[in-house]
Structure 1
Amino acid sequence: MGKSAAERKAAQRARQASEGQRKIELHLDAQKLEMLERNRAARRPGREPYDAAEYIAMLIRQDDARARMHIRSISRKRCGRCGDPLPVSECLLDSESQCWVNRGWHEIKLKL
């Protein structure tokens, strides 16, 4: 006798977990959902729109590439207080205004 739907789903989840995949739940308001739908189609004119998961995965890869490039470019600079190369994630002097940890992190945060 074949596997039940629950057993097949459990096997699928086990395969995905062994491949390092993880399911996340995403809540989008109507405006963001409309942007997602519009851009999935706009990025593939004359073809089937990107699958939502595929589109979001590509956006993550693009952001990762931009973030790495930006971090590489600021790594040539040093913290104004301790002299450590940027980005500094921990510093004993982080309460001082010259310390990059105090305000400099704004250079690499996500911005619209």
Structure 2
Amino acid sequence: MKNNDQAKADKKRQQDKERQRAKRQRDAEKNSELGIHEYRVPLSQTESETLAELCAYRGGAEPYAAAEFIATLIRREKKRVDEEKKHLGQCDFCGEPLPMGCKNGLGIPKLKGVAECWYTREEKKLRL
């Protein structure tokens, strides 16, 4: 009798595993079709607590889910960066558009260290 019960329990666990695997596969395909990407971000205990506090504080009557809160932060930061870009213009020294112009398309500021170069004076303001 015990063997039969154990066999049924094992079979149910196996079916549950298979159902979950199929669900994960469907979800992955759906996300792929929608262009949704998942990121795993390790957070310290303090960061996790802060995230939970911010989700509750900014969520109003119902707290944000962590993913929703982070996605909202990304959209807001994008708007802020777009506004910053409008006001950057060009480097007074090399005449190239900012912030990428002074980097000469290589990712390395070609005149960093030269006092007149925008990167020497202003680049740190763009950092978080």
Q: TM-score, normalised by structure 1?
A: 0.79
Where do residues 77-96 of structure 1 align in structure 2 (5 Å cutoff)? 78-87=90-99, 88=101, 90-91=103-104, 93-95=110-112
Instruction: Report how far residue 9 of structure 1 moved.
Output: 1.3
Return 5+ residue gaps in structure 2 as ranges.
1-17
Which runs of 5 or more structure 1 residues have no equivalent in the other structure? none
CA contact (8 A) 1:82 1:93 kept: no
CA gap of 1:93–1:26, structure 2 versus 1, over 3 A, is: closer
Larger Rg: 2
CA deviations over 1:18-71 (Å, ceiling 9, x no partner): 1111110011111111111111111133x2211110001001111111111011
Q: Quick one: higher RCO (CA 8 Å, sep 6+), 1 or 2?
A: 1
Q: What is the CA–CA distance in structure 1 between the aligned matches of 2:118 and 2:83, rounded to whole Å? A: 19
- The two structures, once aligned, show a CA RMSD in angstroms of 2.1
Q: Which has the higher helix share?
A: 2
TM-score, normalized by length of structure 2? 0.70
Matched residues, number: 105
